Amino acid sequence: MDGDATRGRTLLEESREAVVVLDDADRVIGASRRARQSIDGLREGGRIPEGLLSGDAGIVPLVVPYDVGGRRERLVYLSRSGDLTAYEELRTGFTAAVSHELRTPLARLLSLLETAALPGEDVAELVDQARIEVEQIRELIDEVLFLSELESGTRIVSLGAVPVRPELEAVVSELEERARRPGVALVVEGDPSLTVAVRPRMLRVIAENLAENAIRYAGPGATFTLAVERRGDEVVVRGTDDGIGVDESQLPRLFERFFRADRARASRGTGLGLAIVKHVVTQAGGTVEAAGGLGAGLEIRCAFPAPR
């Protein structure tokens, strides 16, 4: 029973929803972190704030009653009345953006196939170009699905303490050949003993997307460094290049889905790499930020709580 209680408490605490457990006198037995942070006056042992159960406070309750040990309790999910509308707007916008991003490679693919049907054309060369467009479409679909799984919680990000540097080195080893073609050098630095509570696969996702961003956009002759370091009570995974850089006004938008800085608009990238990095980092309890400027390179810092 102790294990079940601990498991249940953890599930409640880490829920992405605002969830409250009440006894039959409307006293709060437990609440998720999100509920405590978003609802004023909510505290364990006290009565639930007035208006929450009736919907008068602009919050829509979903009540699930149950019995435990002969006691009557209720699990209450709390969402604001505009949340569903906002979600639908976000979903519609995301769907439209994906559709827009798919149109370009599909149009190029159709054009290549139509050209291949003309007499005297180099069919083998056109097929090779068509294959590149298919790969672009596949990459976009894969990243959209991955991002969707992150947002829905299907992908588990956090785990026990995992050494960071070996994962960074594995990614650099895999990408060195690809980086050589545009003339970008890859470097790994940092203390090999540092760990974070992130699954190895998710660490590689972060490192891959940071490195691929530099490979695509830093420019010939640039050096990209993946590093891990301890800063106070945080472990920071840092991706830094000394390449072309990004206008400072565009730095806050780099983590938006499908956003591309001016210098990258002609690139074949999906525009989702840094959005995926942000989702992985934030789900692991960390923060992410960008720094740099035109001609000053780009640095992406992913800060995680240091394991205790």
- Give per-residue pLDDT as tens, 165-214: 999 999 999 999 989 999 999 999 999 999 988 888 888 889 988 999 99
Joined tokens for residue 126: 């056109």
**What domain range is 269 assigned to?**
162-305
Co-location of 70 and 24 in the same domain:
yes
Indicate the burial class of 76 (C-beta count within 10 angstroms; 0-12, 13-18, 19 or more). Answer: buried
Predicted TM-score (pTM) of the model is 0.54
Q: Is 172 in the same domain as 104?
A: no
119 shares a domain with 36: no
Total tally of structural domains belonging to the chain: 3
More confident residue, 255 or 243: 243
Q: Are residues 107 and 129 in the same domain?
A: yes
Same domain, 171 and 214: yes
pLDDT tens-digit series, residues 86-137: 445 445 555 555 665 667 678 888 888 889 888 888 988 888 888 877 877 7
What integer pLDDT is reported at residue 264 of this predicted model? 45
First to last CA, the chain: 27
In a domain, 216, yes or no: yes
Check residue 269 and give its pLDDT: 53
pLDDT surpassing 60 at residue 281: yes
Instruction: Please check whether residue 54 lies inside any domain of the structure.
Output: yes
Question: In angstroms, rounded to a whole number, what is the distance separating the alpha carbons of residues 210 and 179?
Answer: 12
**Which residue, 53, 81, 109, sits at the end of a domain?**
81
Last residue of a domain, one of 47, 81, 115: 81
**CATH assignment of the domain containing 296:** 3.30.565.10
Domain boundary residue, one of 81, 109, 136: 81
Could you tell me if residue 57 is inside a domain? yes
Do 103 and 140 reside in the same domain of the chain? yes
Residues 172 and 298 in one domain: yes
Mean pLDDT value of segment 138-151:
65
Are residues 59 and 109 located together in one domain of the fold? no
Note whether 185 and 289 are same-domain residues: yes
- The domain that holds 137 is classified in CATH as 1.10.287.130
| Tokens encoding 212 | 């691929």
Inside any domain, residue 198 = yes
Per cent of the chain over pLDDT 90 is: 24
Residue 157 in domain: no
- Cα–Cα–Cα angle for 218, 223, 224, rounded to 5 degrees: 75
